[in-house]
Structure 1
């Protein structure tokens, strides 16, 4: 227990401690991203998606400010899309995707898993 207090002092909020514990290495998907990758792979096999890459693009928004969408996706029609997978939105993430949509000629799509009680699947929000 003492070790936890050293790494995460008592003045650190529970949310901050949880976020710090849940961070993954760059290039490593969380469960929600992995589930979405399976969806993209099924779409690729059906010919609905030509190509996709996890953390494949890094976009400059301003000096020392970057945005890396979860997935870069090329749709069947050749249009590039940037897909952001969210279980919960942080305010800064919503701002970054809106700024990126204003700066770049890609279609930005945020996806969120729907609860099974609501039929499952994914809800989408498009930023253009």
Structure 2
């Protein structure tokens, strides 16, 4: 039985990496328990940007006020990822947010960047 290999540590679609798992545990689940968000889903929406070009946000989030956010969890940015989220933000009526983990030695938590 052959084992699949994924470049740059990528996991198969639908499977969270450790940073995405941490974001779910540290941010999304507590926000849901406190009522700030009412729903979220991992890789639930695929957005078409152009012919044969798509963007799948890591998390789709519905806030308590009914607004939708597309949240991208990053350890680091690959070349095309920043371009795709900028294009998606200009084409779709959602709030697009990227979050990046802050190292514990620098205080921990998450750095937030919004795209418009």
TM-score past 0.5 threshold: yes
Corresponding position of 2:93 = 105
Give 1:1-128 correspondences, 5 Å limit. Answer: 20=7, 22-38=9-25, 39-128=27-116
Can you list the C-alpha shifts for 1:36-86, whole angstroms capped at 9, x where unaligned? 111201110110111000001000000110000000000121110000000
Compute the RMSD of aligned alpha carbons. 1.6
TM-score w.r.t. structure 1 length?
Answer: 0.83
Runs ≥4 in structure 1, deviation > 6 angstroms? none
TM-score w.r.t. structure 2 length?
Answer: 0.92
Equivalent pairs, count: 112
Unaligned runs of 5+ in 2: none
Q: Which has the higher contact order (CA 8 A, sep 6+)?
A: 2
Report which of the two has the higher share of helix: 1
Following TM superposition, by how much is the alpha carbon of 1:21 offset from its aligned partner in structure 2, in angstroms?
Answer: 5.8
The whole-number CA distance in structure 2 between the counterparts of 1:94 and 1:56 is: 19
> Which protein shows a greater Rg?
1
